[in-house]
Chain A
Amino acid sequence: AQKITQTQPGMFVQEKEAVTLDCTYDTSDQSYGLFWYKQPSSGEMIFLIYQGSYDEQNATEGRYSLNFQKARKSANLVISASQLGDSAMYFCATCPGTYKYIFGTGTRLKVLA
């Protein structure tokens, strides 16, 4: 069965520093997507970044990049130049097909001034 593991329940980072949020996945599918979402305290789920399993280059989206290591089945999110507004819950997810996403338990990030 597909599974996402986020081993860091909480992280702190100093403002303007970079931070890496870990995510490992387990899937037997050859084709799958990997995603990161941000959930601020207001509750909405905000899409951040997508990586396809066949994409050879790491995805980047502004200050977000996804460090994709296929052999290790990891899809870590890197946030560069952290801002106070980055404080939120971050969820990693995979979608082996179109019908069903599987989420990790999330990492709560706190950016310190």
Chain B
Amino acid sequence: EVQLVQSGAEVKKPGESLKISCKGSGYSFTSYWIGWVRQMPGKGLEWMGIIYPGDSDTRYSPSFQGQVTISADKSISTAYLQWSSLKASDTAMYYCARRPLTGSLAFDIWGQGTMVTVSS
């Protein structure tokens, strides 16, 4: 079965660092991009950025450039999203999703989401 499995919910304090993960299985991890999408409480989907695990080519949406770091380890089929200093406004559900290298470029498989809560 093709799936993306994300790490569990996190509760952090402002200023702390965090790295969440997204592990792919059931397909060739380097045949797809992995994107990250933010959904703040009660709000819509926001495109954060995308990484190609084959060579770690990474693109960030302007709103998220410099705010987060996206990385991947193709040897363990895992992509990451990390923060160096969390803010309360980072409280959200974060989804990873895979996107084909060519063709329709839609996110065809999604992870279950990781809820990040930042509160003092």
A and B found bound together: no
Q: Which residues of A contact B (CB under 8 A)?
A: none
Q: Which residues of B contact A (CB under 8 A)?
A: none
